[in-house]
Chains A and B, each alone.
Chain A
């Protein structure tokens, strides 16, 4: 690996501080140009790897949070109907609640969660891109 000059040997003990935060500080402190940060990404320096780890972690956290929303919103329904059968007998517009929730409402709900994910995931990527392509200062 063609080792580029290490941006700065970590002043703090690397085990104590969260890695990604040190990296962000370093990137801005040293004012690397976009080309430089890109090289760090592709050449797998510690800075580059930490950047990617940060992105992967952010995207995974987002996906897990939204699956939790679905797990509670939809996954809770069988339990609710099992524990409180009265909820199943509630009628809206002449239709029993379970039919309305599962047969109709579930689908817009899923699309809504999907839309939120696409929106937020693209924002995460935009932030990452901005970070990497930050102009020279």
Chain B
């Protein structure tokens, strides 16, 4: 059932991305053009670009997959991803733009006048950027394997190479156009198929999402298992399956229960209740905190704000972004829910992240409509990898070229892009088995425990000192990085330690704030002498023209 439209659509998205990149290249001439698009991007373009950059593989594929697997409890991911922009709007957007800083390290220097704090911030920007880039490239590889049967390495290499070349040649001016285009492409790629899927669901007699007897297969199917699991068969027996095992089911057969997956209808449909597991509630709140406060600390999100003409425009842009992102997040939920009816085999094979790309074909059949819509969705998925990786690469390359290589010329920027792109690509090719959504969640946690306190306290509290900021970043950021390392390479944990390490934000964020405030108060004499002038600059309305 190879779909002849899949590969052309992926190639088309890639080509259009490169073409718009070259169009931008013609416009970009100076270093300033390269880095901040000369700050002349209009708010609506800018908002679409921010949205396009933000909606990554985790948003486009991951959320629907998680909903298919876990149900209502993971709806907090999209809510938190959107709410992050509200936190950004309330506490950071306008003052940050008025600070005139271009990157987070710049902000450290503007606010606290410290060169070495700047270096520390640079390290964290690079770490968070790479941590977020690896799962993007991996997602690309996995998608190409799932939908087109190509090798995993090819997808990762393709996205890595296209993005690195594009950013190195066009810089941010080009990226702004590319990103804005990608936002609308991603929205269309989910919105159009969902209309057809809803119509199909109607004409199928509106099958129940959680039938009383559990989910069943709608047609005969052979499932190839990708993740080891224990199945509970309808007759009550259990069976252990390993990757590569093939299972055959007839139409109407019930879907066996899979270990680690919420197969039971009510559990999937209803939020976890108190008493059943307090760790669930803790993990939920930790996730909310990480996504709510982490968005403002992501390097590729912040760098966009310097392209607004002034603080008031930054605020209005953020509001538009919030609306655009919120509109997008209405859609993945529908895919996760419909996937419950049309693609229950993904629960068995373990490839729940593929639900968005598989659903059009599974629900609408192999006809022309189904194939075209599947191609559209695949194109949207590639847009998601391309845009988020471009944004991340631009910001990581930006700090490398200005803070590590030194002068920040166009040549430095291109060299830095190459450096910044190769490292995560090598990691993505060698590290497998990382769960896309989980790593993205950890990147949010690191950002929330390092840059969020720095920004919030730096903008609103005069008492912040360089030592306090450094201590807070090292304590909170360090603890969350430790959690990342334990999750990725450490031993399997169970019980509370596992929860505390898998969702660290609920303890690392308060830790970072506390340490930052306490050390700042202990080193009060180091408060910058020009803090009054800085506060005026951060908060004075543009209308005053000071």
> Please, which residues of chain B bring their CB within 8 A of the CB of A89?
270
Question: How close is B270's CB to chain A, nearest CB, in angstroms?
Answer: 4
Q: Which residues of B contact A122 (CB under 8 A)?
A: 312, 315
Contacts of B87 in A (CB 8 A): 67
A56 touches B539 (CB 8 A): yes
Contact A98 B271 (CB under 8 A): yes
Query: What is the distance, in angstroms, from B95's C-beta to the closest C-beta of chain A?
Result: 8
Find out whether the CB atom of A110 lies under 8 angstroms from the CB atom of B86.
yes
By the criterion CB–CB under 8 Å, are B544 and A114 in contact? no
* A98 touches which of B90, B270, B536 (Cβ 8 Å): B270
CA distance A70 to B79 in the complex (A): 12
- Measured CA separation A60–B532 after assembly (Å): 16
Cβ–Cβ < 8 Å partners of A63 in chain B: 90-91
Is B316 touching A118 in the complex (CB atoms < 8 A)? yes
Please report the C-alpha to C-alpha distance between residue A78 and residue B273 in the assembled complex, in whole angstroms.
9
Are B322 and A102 in contact (CB-based, < 8 A)? no
Q: Is the CB of A82 within 8 A of B541?
A: no
Inside 8 A of A128's CB, which chain B residues have their CB? 540-541
A101–B322 Cα distance when bound, in Å, is: 17
Is B75 a contact of A102 with CB atoms below 8 Å? yes
Report the stretch among B2-10, B178-186, B323-331, B430-438 that lies at the interface. Answer: B323-331
A55-B539, A60-B460, A103-B333 given; A66·B327 CB < 8 A: no
The chain B residue with its CB closest to the CB of A96 is B269
Q: Which residues of A contact B544 (CB under 8 A)?
A: 38, 41, 129, 132-133
A52-B322 contact in complex given A85-B270, A104-B330, C-beta closer than 8 Å = no
Does A108 belong to the interface (CB within 8 Å)? yes
Contacts of A79 in B (CB 8 A): 281
Q: Which residue of A lies closest to B332 (CB)?
A: A103
B89 contacts partner chain A, Cβ-Cβ < 8 Å: yes
**Per-position contact with A for B359-399: 1 when CB-CB < 8 Å, else 0?**
00000000000000000000000000000000000000000
Distance of B303 from chain A, by nearest CB (Å):
21
Chain B residues with CB under 8 A of A26 = none
B533 within 8 A of A: yes
Taking the nearest CB of chain A, how far is it from the CB of B57, in angstroms?
21
Contact partners of B273 in chain A: CB under 8 A: 81-82, 85
Q: A98-B72, A107-B330, A129-B541 are in contact. Are A52 and B285 (CB under 8 A)?
A: no
Q: Which residues in chain A, 59-101, are within 8 Å of chain B measured between CB atoms?
A: 59-60, 63, 66-67, 70, 74-75, 78-79, 81-83, 85, 88-89, 96, 98-99
Please encode chain B, from 81 to 117, with 1 for each CB lying within 8 Å of some chain A CB and 0 for all others.
0110111011100100000000000000000000000
Asked if A111 and B319 sit within 8 Å, CB to CB, the answer is yes
B274 at the interface (CB under 8 A from A): yes
Q: What's the Cα separation between A115 and B535 when bound, in Å? A: 25
Q: Are B532 and A49 in contact (CB under 8 A)?
A: yes
Check A41 against B288 for contact (C-beta < 8 Å): no
**Contact among B82, B333, B539 with A110 in the assembled complex (CB-CB below 8 Å):** B82
A42 within 8 A of B: yes
CB A135 to nearest CB in B, in angstroms, measures 15
Q: How far is the CA of A113 from the CA of B544 in the complex (A)?
A: 27
Chain A nearest CB from B44 CB (Å) reads 15
By secondary structure, the B interface counts as helix
A125 to B157 alpha-carbon distance, docked (Å): 49
Chain A's closest residue to B543 (CB) is A129
Kindly state whether residue B59 has any CB partner on chain A within 8 Å. no
B90 proximity list for chain A (CB < 8 A): 63, 66-67, 117
A residues in contact with B322, CB < 8 Å = 110-111, 114
B281 A78 Cβ-Cβ under 8 A: yes
Per the bound structure, the CA–CA distance linking A99 and B74 in Å amounts to: 11
A56:B288 contact, CB within 8 angstroms: no
Q: Which residues of B contact A24 (CB under 8 A)?
A: none
In-complex Cβ contact of A106 among B79, B315, B319, B533 (8 A): B79
Q: Does B272 belong to the interface (CB within 8 Å)?
A: yes
By CB atoms of chain B within 10 A, which of A48, A111, A122 has the most? Answer: A111
The complex places the Cα of A63 from the Cα of B312 at a distance, in Å, of 15
Complex Cα distance, B269 from A122, in Å, reads 42
A22 at the interface (CB under 8 A from B): no
Kindly report which residue of chain A lies nearest to residue B273, judged by CB atoms.
A85
When distances are taken between beta carbons in the complex, the residues of chain A under 8 Å from B330 are 103-104, 107
CB–CB B76/A117 < 8 A: no
B284 sits at the interface (CB 8 A): yes
Q: For window 302-319 of chain B, which residues contact chain A by CB distance below 8 Å?
A: 312, 315-316, 318-319
**CB atoms of A125 and B543 under 8 A apart:** yes
B195 partner residues in chain A, CB cutoff 8 A: none
Answer yes or no: B546 CB below 8 A from chain A CBs. Answer: yes
- Chain A residues contacting B274 (CB-CB under 8 Å) are 82-83, 85
Selected contact of B539 from candidates A44, A59, A82, CB within 8 Å = A59
Q: How far is the CB of A45 from chain B (nearest CB, A)?
A: 10
Q: How far is the CB of B100 from chain A (nearest CB, A)?
A: 16
Complex contacts, A113 vs chain B, CB 8 Å: 86
Contact for A78 among B94, B285, B460, CB less than 8 A: B285
Cα distance A38–B546 when bound, in Å? Answer: 7
Q: With an 8 A cutoff between CB atoms, is A121 at the interface?
A: yes
28 pairs of residues in contact across A and B, judged by CB atoms under 8 Å: A41-B536, A41-B546, A42-B546, A44-B533, A48-B536, A52-B535, A70-B86, A74-B79, A78-B271, A96-B72, A98-B72, A98-B270, A98-B271, A102-B75, A102-B76, A102-B79, A106-B79, A107-B329, A107-B330, A108-B326, A110-B79, A110-B85, A114-B319, A114-B323, A118-B316, A118-B319, A129-B544, A132-B544
- Given A78-B271, A118-B89, A128-B540: 11 more A-B contacts, CB < 8 Å: A38-B546, A41-B544, A52-B540, A55-B540, A59-B539, A67-B90, A78-B281, A106-B79, A107-B330, A110-B82, A117-B86
Q: Which 7 A-B pairs have the closest CB atoms?
A: A107-B326, A81-B271, A125-B541, A82-B274, A102-B75, A63-B90, A85-B273
